[in-house]
Amino acid sequence: MELVLISGLSGSGKSVALNLLEDAGFYCVDNLPVVMLTVLIDMLRQEKISKVAVGIDARSGDGIELLPERLRQLEKNGVRYSFLFLQAGEETLIKRYSESRRRHPLTTESRTLEEAIRRESELLAPLAELGHRIDTSDLKANALRDWVRQFISGTGEGGLTLLFQSFGFKHGLPLDVDLVFDVRCLPNPFYDLALRPLTGRDAPVIAFLEASPDVLRMRRDIARFVADWLPSYVRDNRSYLTVGIGCTGGQHRSVYLAETLCREFAGQAPRVLVRHRGLA
Q: How confident is the model at residue 167 (pLDDT cuts 50, 70, 90)?
A: very high
Mean pLDDT for 5-12 is: 94
For helices 90-100 and 113-128, what crossing angle results, to 10°? 130
Answer yes or no: is pLDDT of 276 > 90.
yes
Q: Which SS3 state, helix, strand or coil, does residue 108 take?
A: strand
DSSP 141-189: HHHHHHHHHHHHTTTTS-SPEEEEEEEEGGG---TT-SEEEE-TTS--G
Q: Are β-strands 80-87 and 2-8 bridged in parallel, bridged antiparallel, or unpaired? A: parallel
Global pTM value: 0.79
Answer yes or no: is pLDDT of 156 > 60.
no
Query: Would you state the pLDDT for residue 208?
Result: 98
* Domains observed in the chain: 2-152 (3.40.50.300), 161-279 (no CATH)
What are the pLDDT digits (tens) for 171-223? 999 988 999 999 999 999 999 999 999 999 999 999 999 999 999 999 999 99
What are the pLDDT digits (tens) for 221-254? 999 999 999 999 988 878 889 999 999 999 999 9
Rounded CA gap, 135 and 175, in Å?
Answer: 5
Share of the chain above pLDDT 70, in %: 97
Q: How many CA atoms lie within 13 A of 155 on its CB side?
A: 25
Cα 63–Cα 132–Cα 164 angle in degrees, nearest 5: 165
**Alpha helical stretches, state H, the chain:** 14-23, 37-46, 67-76, 90-100, 113-128, 141-152, 203-210, 213-235, 253-265
Query: Would you state the pLDDT for residue 269?
Result: 82
Query: Would you state the pLDDT for residue 8?
Result: 93
What are the pLDDT digits (tens) for 51-81? 999 999 887 666 788 898 999 999 898 888 8
Rounded CA gap, 272 and 266, in Å?
Answer: 6
What are the pLDDT digits (tens) for 107-134? 988 899 999 999 999 989 888 888 889 9
Rounded CA gap, 31 and 234, in Å?
Answer: 32
Nearest to 27, CA basis, from 7, 8, 55: 55
